[in-house]
Structure 1
Amino acid sequence: MHIANDPLAAIAAAVGPQALVTDPAELRYYSHDVYSGGETALAVLRPNNKEELARGIAAATKAGVAIIPRGGGMSYTGGYLAPSKQALLVDTAAMNRVLEINETDMTVTVEAGCTWDQLQRTLKPKGLRALAWGTLSGINATVGGGMSQNGIFWGASGGTVVNAAISFEVVLADGTLVKTGSDFFRTFGPDITGLFAADCGALGVKATITLQLVREGAAFAYGSFSFPEAEGYFKAMSAVSREGLASECFGFDPNLQAQRMKRESLTKDAQSLVNMMKAQGSAWKALKEGAKVVAAGRSFLDDAHFSLHVIAEGRHQSAVDADMKAVEAIAVQFGGHGVENTIPKILRANPFPPVNSMVGPEGERWVPVHGFLPHSRLVEGWNRIQAMFAEHATAITDNGVTTGALLCAVNRSTCLIEPVFYWPDELQDIHRRSVESAHLAKLKQFPANESARALVKQLRTSLIGIFRELGATHLQVGRAYPLKQASDPRAWELLQAVKRAVDPNNLMNPGSLGL
């Protein structure tokens, strides 16, 4: 593809110089995701609306410049890292409006740069939320990024966040703006919305998104349980998931539980406590529940092994209480016992906390890797992962690397295993800008640690290989997970054909998805 003599001038002429960021320090910041770095892009495009977004993309690709879409910057699989300097990174943060809330048809339309936190705060006074309503990093993570990368957490009982989408407006490589689906129903013929969902920006850049709405729960019940063994934990989580008893069902292995409990006490966050108390619905209940949280402090999980945290949500308190009783019976059946349910209460009342956990409790670097597995393969997958860690135990200890795992039910057939790594290493600008300044000031400042970093890379690669052998699937495919190897060859050819049709010069996030 021919590169224009001055591509930046051509792009500036299309959108105006005020829409472009060229400051070297800012470009270095944008060249790094939570885990690794890429080439420094030519510039960052910050459009104010979909028309400006379309003009900027058209001018860039006409000049031979690649387009690299970036959401809120919270990903760690290379999805928005430029493969060359001849790239325009797209930041839709200024396109953050909630365009329409349709309470009759139960839909909401937002611009791609709207964060999950902003959307939730806008909908909550109306008693509404999106069907799947965001990831834990939703204070920064955007709806557009979620639709491109996919994600889970809030609303996980209904699957991943892309399940909530009805339609998109997508800008293709030539600047064409394409509308998928209808305003109220996703599939009329082949699912074109689904084609652009979880595409990691390889097929186009999301401009607007229309999502399904549901009524916010009026009644809640919370449960936390400790399990001595992994097998009992997974059997319990799978049973709760299969029965559809919980809106959220997640937990931690002993190592990650220990890491989380090293952080500041949950009760030290006064706002979290106040919000949790308000969420209980009555002043008397708020006082009782608040007293329980204060009394529990951090000690309630000191002896926990695997911890499972469950939230039941519905219209009637008697119904959700009955569901939680059923959850308790399942936990006991598989060797668990109840502990103080502080964690699900605080999280549900404060669904999008500051992203301080993107670094370790002492200031270590952090990165996850994950796989979705069916219930039938969870124990096998867990045992394979632990065997790999045991094989590298000496190197892990010598390099100061700590491991753990987040475990989460996704739907009636699937659960997530997400191993995480902490290691002593220098932080990047993305960490320093994302973590709260008061929290950052309390953390250690580690020097660069190439040895530990190389070990974490090796271990992540091994884990991805184990997940592939087990037939796992993944979110945030980016440039990290082997989509081609996991695909039927004819399906992969079909995806390549779609890519050629919408992006014939391979300028839309080249290399993402392995395309």
Structure 2
Amino acid sequence: MTTLAPIDQTALSTISAAVGAAALVTDEAELRYYSQDVYSNGPTVLAVFRPADKAMLARGIAAATAAGVMIVPRGGGMSYTGGYLAPAAGALLIDTGSMNRVLDINAEDMTVTVEAGCTWDKLHRTLKPHGLRSLAWGTLSGINATVGGGMSQNGVFWGAGGGTVVDAALSFEVVLADGTMVSTGSSFFRPFGPDVTGIFAADCGAFGVKATVTLKLVREGMAFAYGSFSFPDAAAFFGAMSAVAREGLASESFGFDPYLQAQRMKRESLTKDAKSLVNMMKAQGSAWKALKEGAKVVAAGRSFLDDVPFSLHLICEGRHQSAVDADMKAIEAIAARHGGKVIENTIPKILRANPFPPVNSMVGPDGERWVPVHGFLPHSRLVEGWNRIQELFDANRAEMEANGVAAGAMLAAVSRSTCLIEPVFFWPDALEDIHCRSLEADHLAKLSRFPANAKSRALVGRLRAEIVAIFRDLEATHLQVARTYPLAAASDPRAWDMLKALKALVDPRGLMNPGSLGL
């Protein structure tokens, strides 16, 4: 264990007296691990606090802040915007992984309450036998990502046709900086008066630490239709994806530019496809349908995207097969009007059957480092945003190639009015402990390992910052604001003053994840 300064040792003793030594991790290697996110390393934390329940969580926070120690909450550790990286050494990092119970499934009122450390994968598996799921039901990293982290950082993928994960929230129990607990509203209706739940949604832990989360439930789909389409260029792709979103035809609608889809097809082997195929076939319902769908996936192999510029993948789900088939027919007509061609629909089938796969994609297919940056734009600004980002890449092409930096993009529809553009960078660089612990061991063993590469990393950092500036100029919005996206600059000055006043009210000493959101 690292030798602590007297003031740190006194603070740690105070916290230990409140929660017990067994709830605190002080091993030096563990502290370094918990002081890094997927993209960056932060100052080393004082200790990692693993509360067993909300009462212990409240005691620990009260003891820490009384001793002047900063609080930094961490979900599943899958973020990359500095959300749980402390601004200075000596913070208490809170890992709610032991608070992972599904507390109540209320099928009559269509709600579920979980502890904040419950993963999206566990919640999905627990609800599935009941034929239920949450309204928005997690990110692709949901095998590790937690519901509490999702509510704090905000996230999007599954259920994106209806919005982001915070749109599924009804109420929270939140521990404030002084250790008091606040319940944000009704357990069955949001909002009842001003939206207090919304204040703590997407707050990146700046206002408090979530202890429990109550979510809206919907019926799991009984019928599914899948579609994949090729488009010749970005304008055609966005035109089709936006038209489908405006009509509300798909529960999931996402796609890739040529570079990223090539990377995705390099990631996994036919053996992995076969394992995914088993789950996909089980999800089809009848044995005959499973055999037919399975045969299509096997026949498609891994070459069906070889000559595809942009690919769009969609899932329709509902109660009746005739209804979802009709929706997919309408999508096919929209795609055709925008120059789209039908391709094999392997990707949406396998993803829907295996919604929370291992997080091997947090590095590149050859072991490169990986990091996204993103913006949400209205349909009317998508093509302009895309073109400006491509102009940035074109202007920096020579330097990118010289430093081994490449970029692709994931694109997705989120609700009827908004789409996501998420450029993704790959570059040769040393992997951190967080990557090595998160990847499957057999996958990690196959990867190339690169030395530390500060020059390429700095180029990625500059390009990400310039993309954020482009998005800001287009009045984009963002998830995972944390310490990366400029919330203050994007806010009405009076609204920002209101947020600062709220921060002063709930965290007068500025110890709750200071610097997050720019507060």
User: Structure 2 length as normaliser, TM-score?
Assistant: 0.98
Corresponding residue of 2:93: 89
Shift of residue 267, structure 1, vs aligned partner: 5.7
Does the 8 A contact of 1:4 with 1:64 survive in 2? Answer: no
Where do residues 364-379 of structure 1 align in structure 2 (5 Å cutoff)? 364-379=368-383
Alignment of 1:258-273 (within 5 A): 258-265=262-269, 268-273=272-277
Say if 2:258 is the partner of 1:254: yes
1:183 equivalent to 2:187? Answer yes
Residue number among 56, 64, 69 corresponding to 1:52 in the alignment? 56
Please give the per-residue CA displacement for 1:253-299, whole angstroms capped at 9, x wherever unaligned. Answer: 01101111112235633331111001111111101111111111111
CA contact (8 A) 1:267 1:297 kept: no
Unpaired runs of 5+ residues, structure 1, are none
Task: Report the counterpart of residue 323 of structure 2 in structure 1.
Answer: 319
Q: What residue is the counterpart of 1:106 in the other structure? A: 110
Give the structure 1 partner of residue 387 of structure 2: 383
State how far apart, in whole Å, the 2-side matches of 1:140 and 1:425 are.
24
1:431-470 equivalent positions in 2, closer than 5 A: 431-470=435-474
Pairing 1:172–2:176 present: yes
Aligned 8 A contact 2:100 2:115 in 1? yes
Matched, 1:239 2:243: yes
Counterpart code for 2:208: G
Matched, 1:62 2:80: no
CA deviation string 1:445-487 (max 9, x = no partner) = 1000111000000000000000000000000001000000000
Which shifted more, 303-312 or 262-271?
Answer: 262-271
CA RMSD of aligned residues (A): 1.0
Say if 2:171 and 2:213, in contact at 8 Å, map to a contact too: yes
Contact 2:52 2:98 in 1 (8 A): yes
Map Cα deviations across residues 193-222 of structure 1 (whole Å, 9 max, x no partner). Answer: 000000000000000000000000000000
Aligned partner of 1:155: which letter?
Answer: G
Quote the Cα distance in structure 2 between the aligned partners of 1:264 and 1:430. Answer: 21
- CA shift digits 1:26-76 (9 cap, x unpaired): 000001000001100000000000000000000000000000000000000
1:383/1:266 CA distance change after superposition, 3 Å: farther
Return the alpha-carbon distance in structure 1 between the equivalents of residues 221 and 158 of structure 2: 13
Query: Does 1:207 find its partner at 2:211?
Result: yes
Q: Is the 8 A contact 2:70 2:92 kept in 1?
A: yes
Q: Corresponding residue for 2:336? A: 332
Partner of 1:229: 233
Q: Is the CA contact (8 Å cut-off) linking 2:8 and 2:90 kept in structure 1?
A: no
Residue matched to 1:509: 513
Which residue is equivalent to 2:4?
Answer: none
Normalised TM-score (structure 1): 0.99
Distance 2:13 2:266 in 1: 51
Percent identity over the alignment? 77
* Cα distance in 2 for residues equivalent to 1:512 and 1:413: 28
Distance 2:13 2:406 in 1: 48
Q: Give the C-alpha shift of residue 8 in structure 1.
A: 0.2
Shift of 1:4: 7.2
- CA deviation digits over 1:142-194, x for unaligned, max 9? 00000000000000011000000000000000000100111111211100000
User: Are the equivalent residues in 2 in contact too, given 1:200–1:478 (CA < 8 A)?
Assistant: yes
CA offsets per residue over residues 318-376 of structure 1, 9 Å max, x none? 00000000000011100110000000000000000000000000000000000000000
Q: Distance in 1 between matches of 2:181 and 2:105?
A: 22
Equivalent residue letter for 2:504: R
Shift of 1:5: 6.6
Does 1:79 pair with 2:83?
A: yes
Residue type at the aligned position of 1:291: A
Which whole-Å CA distance do the structure 1 matches of 2:119 and 2:239 have between them? Answer: 35
Structure 1 partner of 2:35? 31
Specify which of 129, 132, 144 is matched with residue 128 of structure 1: 132
| Structure 1 residue 437, shift from structure 2 partner | 0.3
| Alpha-carbon separation, structure 2, partners of 1:268 and 1:296 | 15
Aligned residues: 514
Distance 1:242 1:40 in 2: 46
Deviations 1:397-450 (A, max 9, x none): 000111000000001100000000000000000000000000000000100011
SS in 2 for 1:223: strand
The residue identity in structure 2 corresponding to 1:173 is: A
Deviation at 1:83, TM superposition (A): 1.1
Deviations 1:97-121 (A, max 9, x none): 0000000000000000000000000
Contact preservation (8 Å) 1:245, 1:323: yes
C-alpha displacement at 1:225, in angstroms?
Answer: 0.3
- Counterpart residue type for residue 489 of structure 1: P
In 2, Cα distance between equivalents of 1:280 and 1:204: 42
Distance 2:381 2:274 in 1: 41
